[in-house]
Each structure stands twice: as structure tokens, then as C-alpha cells.
Amino acid sequence: MNEGAIYRPRSRNWHPVCHTPKYKSSILRTPKKPLICFSSTSSEVTGPVFGHELIGQLDNDLVRNFGNTDETAIGPRIIVHGRVIDEGGNPVPNALIEIWQANAAGRYRHKNDNYIAPLDPNFGGCGRTLTAADGSYEFFTIQPGAYPWPNHENAWRPGHIHFSVFGSSFAQRLITQMYFEGDPLIPLCPIVNTIPDKRAIEQLVARLDMQRAVSMDRLAYRFDVILRGRNATPFENRPEGT
């Protein structure tokens, strides 16, 4: 066991509740028995390391990384940028961020998506990057459209980008979604509302960032990702099995 390298337990009032009947897919896919807690072992405080050689030149450029490289994806051109930090406020460098999203019409390039909106021949919908030493990252993409889904009558997802983040350890592994400031669909969405605390939802809403917008070219949104921090409490002070 790595003494002093213990992650703060995840706040279960801050994360989504597991069993959320209004989001129907959760009903049969969530454990009913309580999770078993234990203090971090070396399996939890370590994780895979990804190198910069992995990242291709266009990997974080979803406007140009798919299809005909002379053409660009259709839709509002945006920068999505921010920092990955931990709960102590420390930057997380070399964090691998993988993103995926629908196109500007709200259609995913996926065989199971049969929404009538068209595919864009120049938009694949995936990107990845590694954070810099200060935890910063940047993607160039198009703003994804809202789309309907079969959860309930007239259910629509707000425009969103999926984020998968590797911090420095397996215990920090996180998948979440980024939403856009001012989207009126956000409060209507049962997936958003699996999160009980409104302040936590706010943390997933990217803010328009005119400082980073490029005149006559692209708008910018800022989205910071916060990963779990280590607990200052030494290992010995944590009751066994909690």
C-alpha cells in the first residue's frame, strides 16, 4: 500500500446517482448492492502513461481530421480549451483526453445512430490530445447539434461533447460530457439530471470565451476538467474497509 497516496472517496452526492429511472437505460444496468470501499492500493494510485508520439498532428482537429483533408467539416467552428487539474488545484500534465461528438446536425457517425439528420462526409467526430505541463489542452471542432433520443416522448439531448480523461492513476479515470452555456435543453435532459446538485451540473457547462475566439474564424468555449485529488489524511487514520 502506498502510504499517504489515498484518493478522497468520490462524493456520491456530487456524481450522478447510479439508479436513475428517468434515464431509462440505467434501470437494468446499475448495481443494487452497495459498493465495497477500500483504501487505495498501488493498483489505484498508478495508471497507464501515454506518450506524445501517440498523438498525430490532426488528432485534436476534428474540423479536418476525417474525410477529404482539403475540405472542412460543416458547422459552427469552435475552439474547446481548458485545463485538467486535480481537486487540490494542481495541473495534471500528460493527461490523455479523448473526445467524441455528433456532427452539427446532431448525427453520430455510428452504425446504431439512425437519426434522419445527414452525416457530414468531412466529419468523423473523434479527437484526442495530451495536456501540456500546465494541464492545458485545446481542440478545434464544430459545435454539435441537439438530437432526439428514445428515452421518452420528445426527448432531446442538449448539444454535448463526450470527454474521456486519463489522469495519473486508474482511480481518477473519468468519462463525462461537456455542455454549452445557454443551451435551454440542459435542464430538460434526464442524463444531465442524473446529477443531483445544480452546482455540479454547472461544472459541466463550458463558457463562451471571447478572449480565445478568433475574429472572422472561430468562437471559443472554455471547459476545465477536475480530477480526484489525494487525501491529506494518512492511511493509518482511515478505518479499515471504509
Catalytic residues: 108, 147, 157, 160, 162
Q: Which three cell numbers stand for residue 22?
A: 428517468
Q: In the complex, what is the shortest distance from the CB of residue 90 to other proteins, in angstroms, rounded to a whole number?
A: 10
Tell which residue, 139, 111, 110, 112, has the closest CA to residue 127: 139
Reference 195, options 173, 181, 179, 172; nearest CA is: 179
Contact string 44-83 vs other proteins (x = CB under 8 A): x-xxxxx---x-x-xx-----xx-----------------
Residue with cell 459498493: 35
Stretch that binds other proteins, among 73-81, 86-94, 130-138, 205-213 (CB under 8 A): 86-94
**Which residues inside 193-222 make contact with other proteins, applying CB under 8 A?**
194-195, 197, 200-201, 203-204
Among the candidate windows 72-80, 107-115, 136-144, 210-218, which touches other proteins by CB under 8 A?
107-115
**From 3, 5, 30, 52, residue interacting with other proteins (rule: CB under 8 A):** 30
Q: How far is the CB of 126 from other proteins (least distance, A)?
A: 5
Pairing of strands 205-208, 174-180: parallel
> Which residues neighbour 141 within 8 Å (Cβ) at sequence distance 6 or greater?
61, 62, 63, 73, 77, 78, 80, 99, 101, 127, 161
Q: Which residue has the cell 437505460?
A: 25
Interface residue with other proteins among 93, 94, 108, 212 (CB under 8 A) is 108
Q: Residues 150 to 189: which contact other proteins by CB under 8 A?
A: 162, 164, 170-171, 173-177
